[in-house]
Structure 1
Amino acid sequence: MTTTRGRLRAAAALVISACLLAGCSKGSEPGASGTGAAGGDYTIWDPYPQFDDGSDWVKLLTRCGTDAGVTVKRTGYDTTDLTNKALLAAQQSNSPDVLIVDNPVVSTLADAGVLTTTDELKVDTAAVEPNLLAAGRIGGKTYGIPIGANTLALYYNKKILDGAKVDPAAIKDWASLTAALEKVKATGKKGITFSAIGTEEGSFQFLPWFWGSGAGLTQLDSAQGVAALELWNGWLKNGHAPNSVLNNTQTTSWQEFAAGDFAFSENGTWQLANAEKTGFEYGIIPIPSQAGGTAPAPTGGEFVTAPVQTETGRYPVTEKLIACLSSADNAFTTDTTLSYIAATEAVQQKQVAANPQLAVWVEAVKAAKGRTSDDLGTKYPKISQPLWTAFQAALSGSASPAEALKTAQTTAAAATK
């Protein structure tokens, strides 16, 4: 029988080896202070070290603490560093009261016994979009509530499409998108750029095409999955996408698009501010599925969770802090700051009313799904790595799409037994 401590050690190893988001920063030593159910200090850890004490985000945390009658002690960590510190703190029975983590990490922490469930804490999740909440559901239980979500869509350069006589509104499936790329190439311009790097960033960008084919992560070498990889492979062979995608991160892929020569860029909500700085007119359309309609893109974004405490009398205040952070008014402000789409329909409508440009992103988020959804949980990193190895092999020409995905399925099946 696996002990909680053993699961914590295994979870720590999984997080480090998977390296869902690269880079670590150093922070203060973990630890929650204060005792009892009322008053005292309550600790919040988040993955936003870019926000200092004068930021709107930290002011919100402070105000939520004041409203709950406590003092909030907040620390911002780099994402990977935060996860490792959370696992270590749990081993030492010294967890923060509130922990905000990247959504794929929730299953790792839950499996290790680090997190309480929303039922235990009496957190109301009724208004949250089910597809977003699914990233925090493991074994029929929900661990936390999404603070918001980001995802992927296709940015386009209007001048290039006009020159190629392409109507972006007519792009509804793979065939119409590839036809648009052919028209762009005929004008001497470049087609589409994306990230196919051999890391989680690459898998994140491949998933809309993979899921959009009808494929599932438990059968990587299905006919549908092969079709998705053949799509990418065909774009490279036909000159619609550059060979640089093999090494592109999402940032370097965006830089290629921002230079003004590409018709399309697969990228996320986090590039909206940069899109305004490109100097050319742009637009955004959802990533199309193979047969038509919006493809399910993976969700990014964080969950607000509550680690297990030995002093369970702290939970009522913790619930108040989480309710404050996820309230409609605060979610609207926070998601605007983080360039996220809200997790509830009511706040999504408020976002679109304030900025109609967000409508396409709301559509994309409504179709999106968590990488650990379908009850994959901690199996996901063991599937993602063979998947990115497969598209790297196919795009570099060392294996056919079918061969590469067959190898990936064998590897993933062995790793997830």
Structure 2
Amino acid sequence: MNRSAGRRLTAAALTVVAVTAGATACSSGEGGGSSKAADSGTYTIWDPYPQFDKGSAWAKLLDDCGTKAGVQVKRTAFDTSDLTNKALLAAQQDNSADVLIVDNPVVSTLAEAGVLTSTEDNKLDTSAVDPNLLAAGQAGGKTYGTPIGANTLALYYNKAVLKKAGVDIASVRDWKTLTAALEKVDKAGEKGITFSAIGTEEGSFQFLPWLWGSGAQLTELDSTEAVSALSLWNDWLKKGYAPNSVISNTQTTSWQEFASGDYAFAENGTWQLANAEKAGFDYGVIPVPGAKGGNAAAPTGGEFVTIPVQGETGRYTTSQKLVSCLTSGQNLLDTDTTLSYVAPTGEVQDKQVAADAKLKPWVEAVKAAKGRTSDDLGTKYPKISEQMWKAVQSALSGSKSPKDALTAAQSAVK
């Protein structure tokens, strides 16, 4: 096997590998072999969907794409948190999967480690993908893979609570009008807004629409705009418009608060749509508003389909066929419906909205969305995110002012 095929892992990646070598995967199959000829009849695909068994529509799609490419697909499903570590270890051992589906913030980590081929190398066509979604898989001027779908955050609202408070949802256009709506809700004896501000990536994920909606950038956590975003959340807690529980809320527990029927608003994601239908009350969805109006950029969730580096480069042609099949228009429509994702292309998004009008605000939110590692942040993002969620925790718990908390965060990042 050719060990000079761009698979030299960075020191940071090797540290991750060393620390996590003992991790165990939830697997529905076995990994790839270490000697894979270009004409091998079996191609390996690793994905983060252990919830889908061999009889699922997803597994059948993989098999169908393999048949169309003239090969047999051997699939292994991992938990999302374990997949990155397994991919790094496999690359170190010259044993990478032929196709790797990973959470979009991970793409830059794997690309920097030399694990992934770029679309320049593998000839994958990404021209139909919305640029803001594709950006999550770009680093150093190159693109690594293509999104299979996207989810993001928006505001769910309880129509009955707003009606009781005399709030017209059409009046909510920016931060000022949203806060005014919360004030009316509070005066009507109802609860305002719930979200997740926990000290993990979930907290950062939920804070980002407000940070970006203020006009701030992740590279300047102590900017006036960033302080205004954290001050907004802080003021809501002080006035009782948001509960103190947001400090420890995950996105799941935050949703449970909203599902009680007591809250006017909840910041949450596309993945709660099925639960919203079961909530037992009329709800609506609007994109998170920007500070001065318009839709704030919310962070994109969802996975990228990538092609790892192989010692035998002749395998890329078939791998490209597999990826192109998985991300074709019709397959995207079927897959993204199953995963509660918004498609990454305008053509398929239009079909989704035509089939289900309730997806319209989500398509709008996805069109305004932004990758967490965009702006060429790449592997810098995790460190920035950690300091950001620590700042949010410090401010909302009252241990520091929003300004002091973000000043400390920016100093720590530097």
Q: TM-score range, shorter-chain basis?
A: over 0.9
| Residue matched to 2:243 | 242
CA contact (8 A) 1:12 1:84 kept: no
| Residue matched to 2:52 | 51
Call closer, same or farther: CA 1:5–1:140 in 2, change over 3 Å: closer
Distance 1:319 1:160 in 2: 50
SS at match of 1:304: strand
Distance 1:241 1:217 in 2: 25
Call closer, same or farther: CA 1:17–1:382 in 2, change over 3 Å: farther
For residues 102-121 of structure 1, the aligned pairs below 5 Å read 102-121=103-122
| Residue matched to 2:85 | 84
| Residue matched to 1:319 | 320
Distance 1:319 1:380 in 2: 29
SS at match of 1:276: helix
Q: Structure 2: give runs of 5+ residues left out of the alignment.
A: none
Distance 2:355 2:281 in 1: 23
Q: CA deviation at 1:34?
A: 7.3
Deviations 1:200-228 (A, max 9, x none): 00000000000000000000000000000
SS at match of 2:289: coil
| Residue matched to 1:183 | 184
CA contact (8 A) 2:7 2:309 kept: no
CA contact (8 A) 2:191 2:264 kept: yes
Q: CA deviation at 1:30?
A: 3.1
Match of 2:12 among 7, 10, 13: 10
CA contact (8 A) 2:34 2:94 kept: no
Instruction: Output the amino acid matched with 1:391.
Output: V
Distance 2:205 2:18 in 1: 18
Distance 2:354 2:92 in 1: 46
Distance 1:407 1:260 in 2: 38
Distance 2:85 2:326 in 1: 23
Distance 2:231 2:256 in 1: 25
TM-score of the two chains, using structure 2 as the length reference: 0.95
| Residue matched to 2:166 | 165
Q: CA deviation at 1:13?
A: 3.7
SS at match of 1:183: helix
SS at match of 2:392: helix
Call closer, same or farther: CA 1:170–1:12 in 2, change over 3 Å: farther
CA contact (8 A) 2:108 2:139 kept: yes
SS at match of 2:9: helix
For residues 183-202 of structure 1, the aligned pairs below 5 Å read 183-202=184-203
Distance 1:279 1:17 in 2: 46
Deviations 1:107-154 (A, max 9, x none): 000000000001110000000000000001100000000001000000
Q: CA deviation at 1:12?
A: 5.1
Q: CA deviation at 1:196?
A: 0.1
SS at match of 2:359: helix
Instruction: Output the amino acid matched with 1:11.
Output: A
SS at match of 1:373: coil
For residues 335-346 of structure 1, the aligned pairs below 5 Å read 335-346=336-347
| Residue matched to 2:374 | 373
Whether 1:353 aligns to 2:342 is: no
Distance 2:296 2:322 in 1: 35
Whether 1:403 aligns to 2:398 is: no
Deviations 1:363-386 (A, max 9, x none): 000000000000000000010000
For residues 327-338 of structure 1, the aligned pairs below 5 Å read 327-338=328-339
Distance 1:12 1:292 in 2: 44
SS at match of 2:298: coil
Instruction: Output the amino acid matched with 2:310.
Output: Q
Deviations 1:34-77 (A, max 9, x none): 74434510000000000001100010000000000000000110
CA contact (8 A) 2:329 2:348 kept: yes
Distance 2:60 2:48 in 1: 16
Distance 2:35 2:6 in 1: 25
CA contact (8 A) 1:33 1:42 kept: no
Call closer, same or farther: CA 1:370–1:336 in 2, change over 3 Å: same
CA contact (8 A) 2:154 2:287 kept: yes
RMSD: 1.8
Distance 1:16 1:256 in 2: 40
SS at match of 2:278: coil
Distance 2:93 2:34 in 1: 14
Distance 2:162 2:269 in 1: 20
Q: Comparing 238-247 with 26-35, which one deviates more in the overlay?
A: 26-35
CA contact (8 A) 1:24 1:79 kept: no
For residues 88-237 of structure 1, the aligned pairs below 5 Å read 88-237=89-238
Q: CA deviation at 1:267?
A: 0.2
The total of aligned residue pairs comes to 407
CA contact (8 A) 2:30 2:75 kept: no
Call closer, same or farther: CA 1:149–1:376 in 2, change over 3 Å: same
CA contact (8 A) 1:135 1:372 kept: yes
Q: CA deviation at 1:5?
A: 7.0
Q: Comparing 37-46 with 360-369, which one deviates more in the overlay?
A: 37-46
SS at match of 1:215: coil
CA contact (8 A) 2:116 2:307 kept: yes
